[in-house]
Every structure is written in structure tokens, then in C-alpha cells.
Chains A and B, each alone.
Chain A
């Protein structure tokens, strides 16, 4: 029983990891994109539609990634090209994505598809306990860990990652040094969109194989909170997503077991945890400023 519960926790965390790691890179470049929810929904509807028509779940995931990128490019053009307010544009992107995904998804209502074929590694997945927990997932789930590792390496160990962080911390200096501020930010925004799109695609392809309007149900916002929760550190996104998924599943399992704690209280635990972490982080000023991008949310004008 516990094995299956842990498996559920892992699966429910996957979309959060994708969306949050994408947003983390965006924010590290100094851009705040509050449109994660909208991009996830666009990714979800495109992935489901394409998977249903083509019969290929791989193409579905690809379509989700592309749809997320396209949606994000809209945000990028407005925010970077026209220097619009990032908060307002991001919120508009969420509203736009919610509406548009509902519109294009209307013919998909009431249709179902099968889940991604799982790659079970022959010998390994037969191992007791570990086999089922570690080696019995779908490709996209493993991908989330790969992405986190890659992003962590990219930000910390590569020159390009350093440039991206420099742009996020001081776009004027980076510009003076000759780095293409807007170009790097646009690339980061596209990456964020792609990740949100894949995270969104995971919902109708793997977690619950049908399309429902607004099916992300706030997970995009949780991803945004996770970035802060992780204090802009890739590894902590993974930990945060697991804690979040863990508490979500725990409250469901607790109810079925007959715990007497009100379910409403348990439902709010993940959010409570985020607030507590935020308070702790901001209490320690040095820690808070250590990784938070100094130019987060500020528009860049090359002339100044």
C-alpha cells in the first residue's frame, strides 16, 4: 500500500517540477512570468488533441511543449519587445490561456485516450520495493529529474548559465558588457513555456487521460510559489514539489484512513508551508537576497 501511495506522490509532483523549473530559469533571467497556469493549459489541450488524433503520446508531449512555447513567445514579445508590465502581462496570459484552451478544447470533451506506454526496465523494475518506486515510471517522469539536473548544472557550471544569471541580477551591466539581454531573456521565456507546456501535457496524458476545461486547477500558481519556496535553487524545486505532492496525497490517504483532522485544514497545509518558508526566507535578509534575481520583474531599456 505504501509503495502505491509513494508512487502517486511522485506522479502528482511531476507537472509541478516541470512548470516550476521552467519558471525558475525565467525568473533567474530577471523576468517574472505569471502566466504559468495559462501556458500549462495550452500545453495540456494541445498535447491531448494531438495525442488523440495521431495516436502517438510522444507527439502529444511534443505538441504540449510547442504550445507552451508559442504561448510564452506571445508573452516574450509583449514584455521584451514592447516592455509591457510583466505582472499585468503574465496575468493576462493566464486568462488568455484559460479561455483559449477551453475554446479549442471544446471538441475534445468526452474523449479518452490510453496513458503513455511505460518503460519498465526489465531486471531493475522487478527488484523489491526499489524496483517499483524507482524504475517503473514513464519517460516524462524521468525527464523531469533530468531537466532539474541539467538546469542546475547549466546555471552553476556553464558560462551561458552565468550570463543568464548576470542578466537577471543586473541587466544594465550585462548589457554594457555586450551580452544580448533581450535575446537571452526571450530564450529563457521560451524555455519556461516549453517546460510549462510539458508539465501541462502530463495531466491529460498521464495523470487522468481526458481533457477538462481548466484542468490544471491552480497548479500553475503552485509552481510559481514553488520557485520562491525553492529560493531560486533548482534542487529545492524537486524537494518542494515532493513535499507539496506528499502533503496533498497524505491528506487524501488520511481521510480514507479515517483521520479526525478536518480535511479543509489538511488541504491548506501545502500553502501554509509555502507561507512559512517565505517568512523564514525573508527573515534572513542575506539568505533571501543570495539567489533572488535583483532585476526580477523590471523592464529593460537598452538606451538607459
Chain B
């Protein structure tokens, strides 16, 4: 209902086209946004990256975006429309666009589809993602060292693989730093509802948490932490403004290198999803080492914690696999054996457990 299509027709391109035939047609690239960049989180990061894409390629590329695209059947209509308008590359920036995009991709075999955070691929649909969990591992280490009550609050979004990767990486880091700390998890069942997130944070504070982490998008949790005089981590973009004394650091998503790399591949004709099982070659999944995930300055923590955080970040950048066994779940069962480590495929299928240190039962 409230979606308006914004055409980012480039003046440069328009002038170029009217000037004559010598200028090549720009490559048209479409983006689907779940909300508007006004979320100051997830979509905001995508919008920043889109602007960088435009600046990087100039008049070689013409980008279009559609805001407020609901996940589900409505998304299919928008994807189809973008394809019909002649967009040769379409980036869908939310998990729920997966099936609609896959469906449309079959009807437009010449269009390249890039779905973010999903796992379904085809000959012309690739996937891209950031290793968010790497930042959460560092957060876990810092949280474990910072906590005095040994109670850490964690606001999770929906029980999907990505959320489990993050939660478990956080728990693994936390237990490496502090084997006595426990995590209280609240599944908010939303990506962005500031009031609910603030309520969840207040509840966690009431229950004794003195460090909080979030996988939801708004700064509400950090503001609550600031008010309560405790600490927390920002999500998706730097949230220091909202909580100058509470934010330890934020994990910031940087999609620009991914977009630029993929568009360059399309321009030079090397874009491919491979033809192996599930087109695994079409998956781009990078993290801190490649600048896809950036950590803001470590603040509001003693020097020894900061040193540990820097060491952990360096270790991750150096290729350390966080999900290296032995790893136990919170009932003491070994879920990843000693000498075993989760590869990229298993990170999507074998992460459905509560690692040691997480309280309670997994949601059904």
C-alpha cells in the first residue's frame, strides 16, 4: 500500500542518451528494500552501498530501488516489475524475497538475480551474505570480560539459521572469555519494533543483565542500556550517537564491496553461479577479512578488554573458524566433535542448537 517506486534516473545518463548514439546503454540494476533507509540499520546500510555503487560506476550503471517491499507474494510482483523494466541485475535485500525471486528468475533467464541472506540458488540466481557472526564472536568475548553479574541479555529476531549462527558465535566467544557467564535470550519475533525492543531490553535489565547484545535493528536496546548505566553492542550501523557511554562497539555491515564485485562480474561477463549441486559457486559469503563486516572503535572498556577484542578480531581476520569443535550445547551434548569444524554448508544446517552458556530451550 505504502510503497512508492523511486526512479533514480541519472541525469548524466539522460544527457548522454539525448546527446547521441556513442554512449553505451547503462547497466540497469534494481534493489528491493524491506523498509526505507529510515530504519538507520539494515536498509540504511544497503542504501549507503547502493550510493557507493553509483559513485563507483558513474554512468555505466543506473540503479533503481523500491522501498517498503513486504516479504511474500507482494515481493514477487515488484521483482517481476523490476525485471520487466529492463533491470539486468536485481538485488533482493531481505530473506523473505527468496522464493518470489526464485520464481521470477525462471521467467527471466537473462536477468541476474542476487538474493541476500538466502540459500536457494539457480542458474541465474546467486546469493550473497556477510559473516555477521564473526562480529558477534568478538562481542561475546568482550561481553564475557565486561560482565559483573555474569548475566548477559541477547535480543534475537526470528529463529532462522543466521540468528543461530550469531547467537552461538556470541556464546562461544563469551565462554572462551568467561566460563561462568550465562546468556538470557529473548526472541522478539521482529526485525524492527523499537518499543518492543526497548521493552525486551528493560526486562533483561530487570532480570540482572549488565551487558546486552541485539540482532534486531533499532537503537532502542542501546538507549535502554545507556539509561540503565550498563553496556551493549550496536547493530548494523554505528549507534554511538544514541549511547555514547553504553556502546562497546557496533558491527557495521558494508555491502558495497559485494555489490561492486558482482556488478563488475556482470559487466565483464564473468558472472556465474556455477553448475555444481545447489549452484554453490554462486554464493558470496565474506566477513571481516574482506571488509564486508567492520567493527567500530572499541570504547567504554578497560585496556585489557580492548586488547582481547583486538586480538580476537585479528584472529577472525586471519581465518579462524569460530565453529571449531569441541562445542557442546547447553545440555552438555557434544554438537561439534573435537577436530571437526563447520564448513560453509553446515553453517546453515548444523547451527540449530543452544551453545553452552545460553539459558533455556530453543523456540519450537
Among A208, A212, A255, A262, contact of B39 (Cβ-Cβ < 8 Å): A212
Q: Is the CB of B39 within 8 A of A213?
A: yes
Question: In the complex, what residues of A have CB within 8 A of residue B37's CB?
Answer: 109
Are A253's CB and B359's CB within 8 A? no
Closest to A260 in B: B361
Q: Say if the beta carbon of A215 comes within 8 Å of chain B.
A: yes
Q: A215-B194, A215-B195 are in contact. Are A210 and B223 (CB under 8 A)?
A: yes
Partner of B194, one of A110, A208, A257: A208
Assess whether A286 is interfacial by the CB under 8 Å rule: no
Q: A255-B186, A256-B153, A263-B187 are in contact. Are A208 and B206 (CB under 8 A)?
A: no
Q: A1-B206, A102-B38, A253-B207 are in contact. Are A112 and B192 (CB under 8 A)?
A: no
- A262 and B241 CA atoms in complex are apart in Å by 35
Contact pick for B219, options A1, A12, A112, A264, CB 8 Å: A112
| Chain B residue, CB-CB nearest to A12 | B199
Compute how far the CA of A263 lies from the CA of B223 in the bound complex, rounded to whole angstroms: 24
The answer to whether A137 has its CB under 8 Å from any CB of chain B is no
Number of A-B pairs whose CB atoms are under 8 Å? 119
- The verdict on A53 contacting chain B, using a C-beta distance below 8 Å, is no
Separation of A210 and B1 alpha carbons in the complex (Å): 25
Task: Check: A161 CB closer than 8 A to any chain B CB.
Answer: no
CB-based nearest B residue for A209 = B223
Q: Please determine whether A210 and B220 come into contact, CB atoms closer than 8 angstroms.
A: yes
- Does B54 make an interface contact (CB < 8 A)? no
Among B184-204, those with CB < 8 Å from A are 184-187, 189-190, 192-200, 202-204
* Residue A226 lies at the interface, judged by CB distance under 8 Å to chain B: no
Contact with B along A261-282 (1 / 0, CB 8 A): 0111001000000000000000
| Given A1-B207, A111-B241, CB of A256 within 8 Å of CB of B185 | yes
Complex contacts, A219 vs chain B, CB 8 Å: 195
A52 to chain B, nearest CB (A): 12
Q: Is the CB of A255 within 8 A of B207?
A: no
State which size class the interface on A falls in: 35 or more
Residue of A nearest to B243 (CB): A112
B residues at A contact (CB < 8 Å): 1-2, 35-40, 44, 153, 184-187, 189-190, 192-200, 202-208, 218-220, 223-224, 227, 241-242, 359-361, 363-364
Q: What are 20 A-B interface contacts by the 8 Å CB criterion?
A: A5-B203, A109-B38, A110-B241, A115-B227, A207-B199, A208-B218, A210-B219, A213-B35, A217-B194, A252-B186, A252-B199, A253-B207, A256-B153, A256-B184, A256-B185, A256-B204, A256-B207, A258-B184, A260-B360, A264-B363
Please list the residues of chain A having a beta carbon within 8 angstroms of any beta carbon in chain B.
1, 4-5, 8, 12, 95, 98-99, 102, 105-106, 109-112, 115, 203, 207-210, 212-217, 219, 248-249, 252-253, 255-260, 262-264, 267
Q: A252-B196, A257-B184, A258-B361 are in contact. List 15 more A-B contacts (CB 8 A).
A: A8-B199, A8-B202, A12-B199, A98-B2, A99-B2, A102-B36, A111-B241, A112-B223, A212-B218, A217-B193, A249-B203, A255-B185, A255-B360, A260-B360, A263-B186
